[in-house]
Amino acid sequence: MNWDAAFFIKSLSLGIGLAMDAFSVSLANGLSEPCMKKTKQAGVAATFSFFQFAMPMIGWLVVHTAASYFEVFQKFIPWIALLLLGFIGGKMLLEGIKCKEEEGCCHKLTFGLLLAQGVATSIDALSVGFTISEYNAAGALVCGLLIAAVTFILCFAGVFLGRKFGTKLAGKASVLGGAILIAIGLEIFISNFI
């Protein structure tokens, strides 16, 4: 295991690539809840960060313990992401349409919904465990922590930007956020078959 610049560049690049879906969902969350407090923004970013850390670690463990079982599960990953994000996005769309008549409507992101988003946006990161399988445990842990740090920064920025635009878009924000989640689910699904 070499702790050289290539290791850190690869880890940070993985972090940026994996965090893009979570960033987009964070943006949608900020759009749909423009009145979100900074502590909740940090909680949203931390949740996505946790899942983006945990999934590659689980993938790494699977490679080193029971890789044959993971191969069976891997073909269902795009379907799971599509269903979760489609359901969550559809719910946001419906709430946004209902909220259009109400003035000053501010949706609240629930913890359960946030957990579902965390799983949906990070489930494809399980396969990253295969790409880091040559790392020893310490290398995999450092890589996972770098991925988590990048994810936290990008997701916090996503929620912040979403809040800023959400206050300007008012009732349309939830519709836009829901459409973004559905689009992300479709992108994950389609990109796995191309």
Q: What is the mean pLDDT of each run of 10 residues along the chain (194 residues)?
A: 86 86 87 88 96 92 71 72 76 70 65 90 79 86 95 95 73 67 77 76
Q: Which two tokens stand for residue 168?
A: 């300007």
Residue environment code for 176-187, b if the CB has 16+ CB neighbours within 10 A, otherwise e:
bbbbbbbebbbb
Residue environment code for 61-70, b if the CB has 16+ CB neighbours within 10 A, otherwise e:
ebbeeeeeeb
**Predicted local confidence at residue 103, as pLDDT:** 52
Cα 96–Cα 24–Cα 21 angle in degrees, nearest 5: 130
In order, the DSSP letters of 26-52 are: HHHHHHH-TT--HHHHHHHHHHHHHHH
Q: Provide Rg for the chain, Cα atoms.
A: 17
Residues 6+ apart with CB under 8 A from 7: 1, 139, 143
**Predicted local confidence at residue 67, as pLDDT:** 60
Instruction: Find where tokens 């310490």 sit.
Output: 138
**Predicted local confidence at residue 71, as pLDDT:** 65
**Predicted local confidence at residue 174, as pLDDT:** 63
**Predicted local confidence at residue 178, as pLDDT:** 72
- Give the pLDDT confidence of 96-114 residue by residue, as tens digits: 677 655 555 566 788 998 9
**Predicted local confidence at residue 111, as pLDDT:** 92
165: region left, alpha or beta (phi > 0 left; psi from -120 to 50 alpha):
alpha
